[in-house]
Amino acid sequence: MDNRDRELQTLKDTYRNKWVVNLSSKALTPSEHSLLAKGPKFAVAPDKVPVVDYIVSTESALKDISSQEADSVRHEVVKLLDKCKLPSFNHKD
């Protein structure tokens, strides 16, 4: 790591330390602080697509519509799930 990279990393660390404000009476662990410092747009990428959750939610939403409409929606959901890809990791240190 050259000098420029070290300076950039120091700047990032300084910015992240100012980002987290603990308003509770509990002290944050270094892991908790690090996670919060990633910012409000950070999300953990899932290991797999939650297909069962989508199917269960879809079926729950379809109970009050006609069977023809329900079949059409199911077909669209299956097409979307077939195309679905996992998101890449959204944050790298």
pLDDT at 84 (0 to 100): 87
pLDDT per position as a tens digit, 28-82: 998 888 888 887 778 777 788 889 999 999 999 999 999 999 999 999 999 999 9
pLDDT at 44 (0 to 100): 78
- Alpha carbon dihedral 72, 75, 76, 77, in 10-degree steps, equals 120
What CA–CA distance (Å, rounded) separates 15 from 53? 38
pLDDT at 80 (0 to 100): 93
Task: Decide: helix, strand or coil at residue 37.
Answer: helix
pLDDT per position as a tens digit, 2-28: 888 888 777 777 766 667 888 899 999
